[in-house]
Structure 1
Amino acid sequence: MRQRETGPQDGGAQGGGRLIGRSVPRREDPRLLTGRGRFVDDIALPGMLHAQFVRSTVAHGEITAIDLSAVRAVPGVVAAYTADDLRLGDITAELARPRAEFVPTPMPVLARDRVRYVGEPVALVVARDAYAAEDGIEAARIGYTVHPPVTGEETALADGAPLVHADAPRNTLVDVAPFATDGIDEVFTAADHVVGVDVRTGRQNALPLETRGAVAHWDDREEQLVLHTCSQVPHLVRTVASRCLGLDERAVRVVVPDMGGGFGLKCVVGREEIAAAAAALRLRRPVKWIEDRKDALTASFLAREQHYTARAAFDATGRILALDADVVCDTGAYSCYPFTAGIEPLMAAAEMPGVYKVPAYRVRGRAIATNKAPTAPYRGVSRPQYVMVMERLFERAARELDLDPVEIRRRNLITEFPYTGVNGITYDPGSYRESLDLCERTLRAEGWYERAHAARAEGRYLGIGYSCFSERTGYGSAAFAQRKMTLVPGFDLSEVRMDPSGAVTVTTGTMSHGQSHETTMAQIVADELGLELAKVKLHQGDTDRVPYGWGTFASRSIAIGGSAVRLAAGRLGDKLRTLAAARWDIPVEETALGHGEVHRRDAPTTALPYRDLAELAYHRAHLLPKGIEPGLTATAAFDVSNDGTFSNATHGTVVELHTDTGQVEILRYVCVEDCGVAINPRVVEGQCRGGIAQGIAGALFEQVTYDAQGEPSATSFMDYKVPTAHEIPDVAVHHLQTPCAFTETGAKGTGEGGTIGAPAAVLNAVNDALRPTGTELDDIPITPETVHRALHPRHYQESAR
């Protein structure tokens, strides 16, 4: 095991690669920064029509009538469809679990008979331009019998509550209790200290810069429906489209152009792109749908609304003895495809112990249905929440035991690897203790502890907070199968091909939506083959060009996709060496790759350039030695058979609470991360900073709420409070490297860590600042009003009289 601190330009990488470990400039930037990117909304095809959706205005009700006659009479409207018109199959996500643990929720592409949330698509309007489509929507007449909506956990689980789905008793879609250590109650009874927390987190929108969208058309020559869409999982979109439309998968081609963010929202299959594709198939004309921002805020997939009730037992020295938790996730009206409503409670239940040595563990995880827009994975998936729960438990125990909050963490962090936890997961080597130590040293060296002490003496409220966590990445098929998914993601495929000029094209089943795959995947291939970076081009996001892939989510791209890419590049290199060895009539072992050539080991100045070998393989195949086929192509697959790999980090932050407004100002933010070998450290830093910004957003600003009728509150950025550059501090990122032993590059994932650690660090810092008041907060987002109440309790007590 090797751990060391590296800087942004550090060249350290397994094998001493000349490109892996270097912060080479992003190859995407010249195109994207000069407006030459091509996104879904940039696509304009001859004869293209525009689609929008008539959406439900009630949260829960039966559809009694749909009258689209006035819609069809609107100038410019070409067609209008209901569910009965399109007759599409439902989108249904399944788990192979008994009904006591999981209830599936078939999601119609257009609502039939019943609506279950405000914004649910009821009808599709297709027009010659986007304005006519909007006019058509206004002309629709929908009749409803309105039922009482289920708007939250208390309503959903109450006796006699209305049911969102008739076959889901108590509105419970998932109910699992995977761990219950024998004798855990006795452990709590005998413990020196027991602390508890009751934590709620707000519902959020992933808010990618580019909203969802699709352009679909029928290709007569290929007998194929072509669907351009901004999806993280193009092959899964193809599967769902083919099933809903009754087509062979070969007859559906999904193409993803440049994509302006996804964050998990786009790693599930939505209804709207399927409906747009169905209209294009019927009309035999291109159809475009672009989600407007209001629909994106209210009717798209949401995330995060969770409630944790947890307690932990500690001995007199501050060592944790047991953890007991109940997790309730409000997952909205339907299960998302393919992950189901189980993704959040199953993630939380399986991984809550995290970086700490927890000897005894009991947990129950539930997903409940409500009359709200359904949820999808969002960067981190429950980990920001359960990490916050664990960190709050340790902070509370530190106060009760009068221990330094950093020291109590040190006493409980996993330090010997591999470590198999009480949750049955084996953790590969990481730098849990080292990252905490470096983060604390950094804040102390910068003088923040002295500043906080001085500020308190002046009556100001400064606080310092930490969070320690791991990010499980590289989920392989075995890990997903443990969730009992009937559609099991995991592996990735890659093809590396050299053309007659010696240039290389590589495919990956992952899908970049801002992670710099065009750069980092090329770095891997160029290093493996000894090529210039400019000689390597990545292709992704096209189901006809990429054999198969599960897309990008759960920080899997470099860990799994990058491993497949390196294996395929290595096999291509073997072919080049075999071809050169045959030309020289020497053993393959006496050849080596480098600088765009195959060299003889016994005579390094004797070499065959790749271009010459490629011309031989393609243009003069008659000269190829017996047994060597024409062309230069190699493929490879990669999967992880164990529990995956774990990146880790510690975040430390300093905040000041403004007494007059209750505003929380972040003065300093330090991130110490270990994602194994960093293929491109600057890209890693970008992922950290972007994730931290989203974590801060969840901690302090963003929340979607609903009124008693199930109407969403945040329909624009006037109501949905998104932080700007002014609210996000400069983030210092320090790198540690503990190479992964079972990925091909030594890399672990890094896409979600920033978001995972930020809420806990910010909340702990706020509570440290509030220490003189005796008040502690456990819920996020932390609003200025909440802080102001904590700072001025007498004012509010007098106002209430």
Structure 2
Amino acid sequence: MSTTTGAHTPDGGEGPLVGRSVARREDPRLLTGRGRFVDDIALPGMLHAQFVRSTVANGELTSVDLDAVRKVPGVIAAFTAEDLDLGDITAQLDRPPEEFVPTAMPVLARDRVRYVGEPIAVVVARDAYAAEDGLEAAKIGYAVRPPVTCEADALADGAELVHAQAPRNTLVDVALFATEGIDEIFASADCVVHVETRTGRQNALPLETRGAVAHWDDREEQLVLQTCTQVPHQVRTVASRCLRLDERAVRVIVPDMGGGFGQKCVVGREEIATAAAALRLGRPVKWIEDRKDALTASFLAREQHYDVRAAFDAEGRILGLDADVVCDMGAYSCYPFTAGIEPLMAAAEMPGVYTVPAYRVRGRAVTTNKAPTAPYRGVSRPQYVMVVERLFERAARELGLDPVETRRRNLITDFPYTGVNGITYDPGSYLESLNLCEQTLRDEGWYERQAHATAAGRHLGIGYSCFSERTGYGSTAFAQRKMEVVPGFDISEVRMDTSGAVTVTTGTMSHGQSHETTLAQIVADALGLDLAKVRIHQGDTDRVTYGWGTFASRSVTVGGSAVRLAAGKLGEKLRRLAAARWDIPWEDTTLGRGRVHRHDDPAATLTYTELADTAYLKAHLLPKDMEPGLTATASFDVFNDGTFSNATHGVVVELHEGTGQVEILRYVCVEDCGVAINPRVVEGQCRGGIAQGIAGALFEQVTYDAQGEPSATSFMDYKVPTAQEIPDVTVQHLETPCAFSETGAKGAGEGGTIGAPAAVLNAVNDALRPTGVELDHTPVTPETVHRALRRTLERT
């Protein structure tokens, strides 16, 4: 029996809001310049901070002389690690020493530096310009040691150790699966294919760089830290520990945020040091990361090496997968996910959408003298999906089969399906999405155009990728990684005031995903309320009971479910209150249009404002078993393996002989994220993710010289695609509702990024087929394509 009869939309329409592309409520504020970001914050007496950073990749600190810094006009203070005496940031896994080695990350380097850009001291000045001037006066002495700049150096016999406690520079070394008899399966297979691939180190590149403003509130006896983070409660925990304060004495507030993509879902050192400087000086302190530091010294991602074999029978059915994964995680483990975030993700989920009967994998995280690695949209899935999709392409060619048909023969179609990796997949549309994507390109005539282009000497290629996106990770799923800090649940409070308007808190944290719109749609539907009457509050550790923030496409699946449950509880209280007034069972009432309705008398209604008037202002009229006020709280967690969104991407590219340029002519995405709360928002997530996936496939990479100096210090060096390089993307929706989320929604945040590199690379290789050259590494550069087209590149 439905408990709501309809909701009102801003355009005056009626009916369910979930599933409708209502206008984003954030847009008027953000598009008219009324957004409030960290750098917009100006407090009386505010000072500005910047960081003295290491200029060498590996070395002992022999001296840190800030005397000249303190004499620079405008500089108020300068602090070293010894001056601030802060606790370290240490992320832990509950694994034995042979599987995991923790690395304490000091807020400011003390005795040793481990990458170019590591913060050594903080300079505080009257304005940002004086702070920069102060940096130049710092005198830092180093005893330089040979840097470890790549995986080969890290694992070499007798290698320099980035951390003395980590033998062979290995922080994580885990073999999660090893099917009995897998060697015999490979020995007897009709076809065994091998792919070795490397992916370039990337920067998540949020439009807004990191930043923080900190001050001490004397009245509340509380440090207030305003920062652009995806995980405010985690920042509060670490800040309180490093500063040796009770958590109650730290309040973290997140204003509007211009992107995060995972780079901001870990705790950074600079916001802690900024807070410490504010405490020491008794004045507000602001730090804004400049773009050079953001490119070179912020958290990076993606540098991975896969060495994978797959066994197939003569009909193209996969028999086994054998993988070795090595991830270069930089100098430290990130908090709270640790250096295990990438190798554990790859090892656990590599079989993906295919029915792989036998599996063996080893996952390692090595440490090098580079900036640390944090999660970045997709976390290893863009890489392992690319590897698996390359294996299917290669097997199909060796067996003389069509690559798309080979995929069809191996896709999971019977659900629920428990894979060889021990993960149970809920229902999805894996086969349907592949069929629709291929049919779309065929109906548009791309296969005929490819044949004509080939006959004319042009190089057109068509590529696909099939994948799933595990979302709705709950406490159970994260506990399987043996994290000391186990994310998962979310808590929401829904509170109605005397005007009938509703305030909703959520532990998730929007940085562009439209939470103010989508979560409001869920609440408005649940209460039969005008959308304009719902206000979402997030990103304030004093207003939000607790939350794990936003990452891993969890916001609508987990956070939205908590919001829906809390709204449902409030709706029940409204119905019980109205039923008491009418002296009827509360089950004989319905919510809708801002009122409680009687089933037996449609003309009889009580408005929410009338009920709120009783709940708050006339509490003596309440039933004896009902508390005053209209507030409800609910939590939601996932106690299974989560839910799986899925998609197929189809790409058409043309390779240009003269320049080696890869031009994307067509991009089709068929996605299934369950119930799309707001289809336009989902499409925006798909398109943004695809743009980042294309960037990794064709453009972006941070490289280092032999001394560990990063090559990309500006956008002159770090090749970011523009709108000219990103094609129009067609997004088509399928819908397989999640069976256990409160809304039927699955996550949609990372899928675009996951599928793009594989589809683009497969399309490039399809265009290169006449040359006999295959490419397996990304980014695919114009130089590489140019050489391949001239048939001078050796087979990789």
**TM-score interval (norm. to shorter):** over 0.9
- The answer on whether the counterparts of 2:771 and 2:791 sit within 8 Å (CA) in structure 1 is no
Deviations 1:158-191 (CA, angstroms, capped at 9, x unpaired): 0000000000000000000010000000000000
Deviations 1:434-480 (CA, angstroms, capped at 9, x unpaired): 00000000000000000001000000000000000000000000000
Deviation at 1:83, TM superposition (A): 0.3
| 1:258-657 → structure 2 map (5 Å cutoff) | 258-657=256-655
Letter in 2 for 1:368: V
Counterpart CA distance in 2 for 1:402 and 1:453 is 19
Q: Quote the residue 2:663 is aligned against.
A: 665
Counterpart CA distance in 1 for 2:310 and 2:752 is 26
Deviations 1:74-108 (CA, angstroms, capped at 9, x unpaired): 01100000000000000000000000000000000
Which range moves more in the overlay, 616-625 or 419-428?
A: 616-625
Counterpart CA distance in 2 for 1:123 and 1:793 is 52
Q: Quote the residue 1:218 is aligned against.
A: 216
What SS is found at the alignment partner of 1:567? helix
Letter in 1 for 2:767: A
Counterpart CA distance in 2 for 1:475 and 1:281 is 37
1:199 matches 2:197: yes
Letter in 2 for 1:656: E
Letter in 1 for 2:691: A
Deviations 1:607-629 (CA, angstroms, capped at 9, x unpaired): 00001101111111122121211
Deviations 1:496-537 (CA, angstroms, capped at 9, x unpaired): 000000000000000000000000000000000000100000
Aligned with 1:242 (options 240, 244, 249):
240
Letter in 1 for 2:779: P
Q: Quote the residue 1:8 is aligned against.
A: none
Q: Quote the residue 1:5 is aligned against.
A: none
Deviations 1:192-231 (CA, angstroms, capped at 9, x unpaired): 0000000100000000000000000000000000000000
Counterpart CA distance in 1 for 2:145 and 2:587 is 75
Letter in 2 for 1:639: D
Unpaired runs of at least 5, structure 1? 1-10
Deviation at 1:734, TM superposition (A): 0.1
Deviation at 1:793, TM superposition (A): 3.0
Counterpart CA distance in 2 for 1:758 and 1:470 is 13
Counterpart CA distance in 2 for 1:624 and 1:158 is 74
Aligned with 2:177 (options 168, 176, 179):
179
- The answer on whether the counterparts of 2:176 and 2:347 sit within 8 Å (CA) in structure 1 is yes
Counterpart CA distance in 2 for 1:145 and 1:34 is 52
Q: Quote the residue 2:93 is aligned against.
A: 95
Q: Quote the residue 1:4 is aligned against.
A: none
Letter in 2 for 1:237: V
Q: Quote the residue 1:715 is aligned against.
A: 713
Aligned with 2:756 (options 758, 765, 773):
758
Counterpart CA distance in 2 for 1:441 and 1:24 is 30
Counterpart CA distance in 1 for 2:15 and 2:148 is 56
Letter in 2 for 1:718: M
1:141 matches 2:160: no
Counterpart CA distance in 1 for 2:176 and 2:264 is 29
Q: Quote the residue 2:72 is aligned against.
A: 74
What SS is found at the alignment partner of 1:449? helix
TM-score when normalising by structure 2: 0.98
What SS is found at the alignment partner of 1:793? coil
1:159 matches 2:144: no
Counterpart CA distance in 2 for 1:290 and 1:317 is 58
Aligned with 1:677 (options 675, 678, 682):
675
Q: Quote the residue 2:21 is aligned against.
A: 23
Q: Quote the residue 2:788 is aligned against.
A: 790
Counterpart CA distance in 1 for 2:462 and 2:659 is 20
Counterpart CA distance in 2 for 1:734 and 1:766 is 23
What SS is found at the alignment partner of 2:361? strand
Q: Quote the residue 1:775 is aligned against.
A: 773
Counterpart CA distance in 1 for 2:791 and 2:307 is 26
Counterpart CA distance in 2 for 1:471 and 1:18 is 27
Counterpart CA distance in 2 for 1:446 and 1:789 is 31
Letter in 2 for 1:501: S
TM-score when normalising by structure 1: 0.97
Q: Quote the residue 1:50 is aligned against.
A: 48
Letter in 1 for 2:510: S
Deviations 1:700-741 (CA, angstroms, capped at 9, x unpaired): 000000000000000000000000000000000000000000
Q: Quote the residue 1:189 is aligned against.
A: 187
Letter in 1 for 2:407: R
- The answer on whether the counterparts of 2:773 and 2:791 sit within 8 Å (CA) in structure 1 is no
Q: Quote the residue 1:745 is aligned against.
A: 743
Deviations 1:236-275 (CA, angstroms, capped at 9, x unpaired): 0000000000000000000000000000000000000000
| 1:115-126 → structure 2 map (5 Å cutoff) | 115-126=113-124
Q: Quote the residue 1:114 is aligned against.
A: 112
Deviation at 1:17, TM superposition (A): 6.2
Counterpart CA distance in 1 for 2:516 and 2:621 is 35
What SS is found at the alignment partner of 2:647? strand
Counterpart CA distance in 1 for 2:613 and 2:537 is 23
Deviations 1:726-763 (CA, angstroms, capped at 9, x unpaired): 00000000000000000000000000000000000000
Letter in 2 for 1:264: G
Letter in 2 for 1:670: V
Counterpart CA distance in 2 for 1:192 and 1:731 is 39
What SS is found at the alignment partner of 2:754? helix
Letter in 2 for 1:380: G
What SS is found at the alignment partner of 1:187? helix
What SS is found at the alignment partner of 1:232? coil
Please tell me the root mean square deviation across aligned C-alpha atoms, in Å: 0.9
Q: Quote the residue 2:130 is aligned against.
A: 132
Letter in 1 for 2:205: L
Counterpart CA distance in 1 for 2:281 and 2:537 is 31
Unpaired runs of at least 5, structure 2? 1-8
Work out the percentage of aligned pairs sharing the same amino acid: 84
Letter in 1 for 2:616: Y
Deviations 1:547-605 (CA, angstroms, capped at 9, x unpaired): 00000000000000000000000000000000000000111111110110000000011
Counterpart CA distance in 2 for 1:418 and 1:217 is 52
Q: Quote the residue 1:6 is aligned against.
A: none
Letter in 2 for 1:406: V
1:104 matches 2:99: no
Counterpart CA distance in 2 for 1:628 and 1:549 is 28
- The answer on whether the counterparts of 2:646 and 2:673 sit within 8 Å (CA) in structure 1 is yes
Counterpart CA distance in 1 for 2:110 and 2:345 is 32
Counterpart CA distance in 1 for 2:399 and 2:452 is 25
